[in-house]
Amino acid sequence: MNPPALKPLLITGGGRGIGRATAIMAGAQGWAVGVNYVGDAASAEGTVEAIRSAGGKAMAIRGDVAVEADVIAVFEAVQSAFGPLQGLVVNAGIVAPPSKLADMELARLKRMFDVNVLGAYLCAREGARAMARDRGGQGGSIVLVSSGAARLGSPFEFVDYAGSKGAVDTLTLGLAKELACDGVRVNAVRPGPIRTDIHASGGQPDRAERIGATTPMGRPGEAEEVAEAITWLLSDAASYVTAALLDVTGGR
Q: Which residues are catalytic?
A: 161
Indicate the pairing of strand 221-222 with strand 140-145: unpaired
**Terminal Cα-to-Cα distance of the chain (whole angstroms):** 49
The answer to whether 226 and 18 are in contact (CB under 8 A) is: yes
140 vs 15, 19, 149, 171, CA distance in Å? 23, 19, 27, 17
Residues paired with 184 in a beta bridge = 140
CA 69 to chain centre: 19
Q: Fill in the DSSP letter of residue 118.
A: I
Angle at 152 between CA 149 and CA 153, to 5 degrees: 80
